[in-house]
Amino acid sequence: MQQLKILIVASLIIGSLATSSAQQERQQLELHLEAPEKLQSVAEQVSQFDKTRFNGILQLLRITDPGEPVRVALVPEDSRIARDTPSWVAAFADPANDLIVLFPSRIGSYPYDSLEVVLRHEITHIL
């Protein structure tokens, strides 16, 4: 019986170490921001987001290597793509191209609480 207890405790410790090791090996998600001059302040805001907050998505999806950087295009309302996209769309993801398109002027009211919340949502589509 004592040997069984020791075996169980040892298994738990080894499992814990393996999980810890996998978390340490997990790479950070990288974002590549693209924005016109008039949206540079928004791009700066996005660049200041705590990227470790995206780790929860990686953990949930059991991804240790997020792959290539995700392109994030900040698009102004006067652009053709904004005019061609319904006004209720605050952002969309193009997983095949690792691309997220954000319309910052459409973000900030319910149900799109913040730029970071919308970005996190779109990242889940990419991964």
Looking at residue 22, its pLDDT comes to 46
Tell me the average pLDDT across 113-122: 90
pLDDT in tens, 76-88: 999 999 999 999 9
Backbone dihedral angles phi then psi of residue 107, each to the nearest 5 degrees: -110, 140
The distance of Cα 25 from the centroid of its chain, to the nearest Å, equals 18
**Residue 61 domain-assigned?**
yes
**Residue 111 domain-assigned?**
yes
How many domains, the chain? 1
**Residue 56 domain-assigned?**
yes
* Of residues 53 and 4, more confidently modeled: 53
**Residue 120 domain-assigned?**
yes
In CATH, what number is assigned to the domain containing residue 57? Answer: 3.30.2010
Q: What share of the chain in percent tops pLDDT 90?
A: 54
Between the CA of residue 84 and those of 15, 20, 104, what are the distances in Å? 51, 46, 16
* Of residues 5 and 53, more confidently modeled: 53
Q: Which domain holds residue 73?
A: 29-126
pLDDT in tens, 32-66: 999 999 999 999 999 999 888 888 888 888 888 88
Looking at residue 6, its pLDDT comes to 58
Looking at residue 42, its pLDDT comes to 94
**Residue 14 domain-assigned?**
no
